[in-house]
Amino acid sequence: MGSTENVENRVRLHNFGKVKSTKANKPWKLLEVHEFESRSEAVRMEMFFKTGQQKEILRNKYGVVAKW
């Protein structure tokens, strides 16, 4: 989970092992995309999505376990 202006490129970088923090957990699959008016709003929502409760919601929705 993160923010970018180019979603396809961001996923490609993760899957090519170019991002140190996600290199060991590839391949990555894009599950959702959210667009925001400002970077500050995007960062605020990113922090919200990374809470324990939201991880559980995503786990139930997609059947995956987030490793953030």
**Residues 4-45: pLDDT tens digits?**
889 999 999 999 999 998 888 889 888 889 999 999 999 998
Euclidean distance between CA atoms 1 and 54, whole angstroms: 12
pLDDT at 66: 58
Region of residue 19 (left: phi > 0; alpha: psi -120 to 50; beta: else): beta
pLDDT at 48: 86
Tell me how far CA of residue 67 lies from CA of 2, 37, 38, 40, 60, in angstroms: 13, 27, 26, 23, 15
pLDDT at 67: 60
The model carries a pTM of 0.68
Handedness of CA 59, 63, 66, 67 (dihedral sign): positive
pLDDT at 55: 78
